[in-house]
Amino acid sequence: MLATLPPERRAIVGQLLRFLVSGGITTGLYAVVYSGLARFEIANPQIANICGYLVAVVTGYLLHSRWSFRGHGERDNPARTTSRFFIVSLVSYGLNALFVFVLTDSMMLDGEWWWPLLPICFITPLVTFTLNRQWVFR
């Protein structure tokens, strides 16, 4: 079925599939770090979010730059690509921090530690895929 798609669509589908795998690994690592720290109250959820972010941003950069978006766009300016990737990673950190705040903070919904994992695992990856494809690795 993939072979019947036009080349541009095939490239997008390939990138999306690679992003799902590498993004799944990155998100999984984030979730393990966040969960371990937040669930066992080693750190408050926002500190756990920062720790998860730091692990995920390094892993994500390596996987996405070398595999997810390989062959996509021009790589003539590595400094620009790297700086844009880290800007997008800050957007993802901001989204995750917002989810953690709204869903777990006592001034907001005061939910369980795991509530933010739902939007973090489904909304944040969609945003970062779009930004990475359209702006970082173009």
Per-residue pLDDT reduced to its tens digit, 18-48: 999 999 999 999 999 999 999 999 999 999 9
Each domain of the chain, given as residue ranges in start order, spans 8-136
How many other β-carbons are positioned within 10 Å of the β-carbon of residue 89?
A: 22
In percent, the amount of the chain with pLDDT more than 90 equals 72
Gap between the Cα atoms of 124 and 118, Å rounded: 10
> Residues 24, 79: contact at Cβ < 8 Å?
no
Q: What's this model's pTM, rounded to 2 decimal places? A: 0.86
